[in-house]
């Protein structure tokens, strides 16, 4: 687990930053049952193919996989069931209006502990085209090369 400004990061969705431009990010609580919390504390969560949707004025996260807790027996739930995210109603309506615009989507970026509570960082994103992905990869490669040359010159 990584620590970032008092937050203990449990899982990151690295693929989201590769596939989308993150325009804005929001913090949301998540409604879980006891065995899911224990499983998350052990780091058994995957955000890879997850997304968020507004259904009947409530925000849900779908496709997030929380592995069943080993000692949970009958109390374990379906690992990929939709889970409700907890935000203020006006924030949800603002996000819902933005999603209706062309090309916008809600993607969970990370799960982390804030004090003792589990929070989800939700990003308002716009999809990248293939040429945008290539361009960002090229920029990363160029920056990496510059860092290598500077490091080599400083050591001489």
C-alpha R_g of the chain:
18
Q: What is the DSSP code string of 93-107?
A: HHHHHHHTSTTEEEE
Say if CB 48 and CB 15 are below 8 A apart.
yes
- At 2, is the pLDDT very low, low, confident or very high (cuts 50, 70, 90)? low
- Domain residues of the chain, as ranges? 2-129
pLDDT (average), residues 105-112: 94
Say if CB 111 and CB 16 are below 8 A apart.
no
Phi, psi of 20 (to 5 degrees): -135, 155
Q: CATH second-level architecture of 2-129?
A: Beta Barrel (2.40)
pLDDT (average), residues 110-115: 92
- At 156, is the pLDDT very low, low, confident or very high (cuts 50, 70, 90)? low
């Amino acid at each position: 687990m990584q620590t970032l400004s008092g937050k203990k990061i449990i899982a990151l969705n690295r693929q989201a930053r590769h596939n989308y431009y993150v325009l804005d990010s929001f913090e949301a609580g998540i409604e879980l049952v006891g065995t899911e919390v224990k499983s998350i504390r052990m780091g058994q969560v995957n955000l890879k193919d997850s997304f968020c949707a507004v259904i009947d004025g409530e925000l849900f996260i779908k496709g997030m996989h929380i592995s069943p807790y080993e000692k949970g027996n009958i109390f374990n739930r379906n690992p990929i069931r939709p889970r409700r995210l907890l935000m203020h109603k006006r924030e949800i309506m603002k996000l819902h209006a933005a999603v209706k615009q062309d090309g916008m989507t809600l993607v969970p970026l990370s799960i982390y502990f804030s004090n003792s509570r589990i929070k989800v960082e939700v990003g308002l994103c716009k999809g990248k085209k293939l040429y945008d992905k290539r361009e960002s990869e090229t920029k990363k490669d160029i920056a990496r090369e510059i860092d290598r040359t500077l490091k080599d010159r400083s050591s001489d």
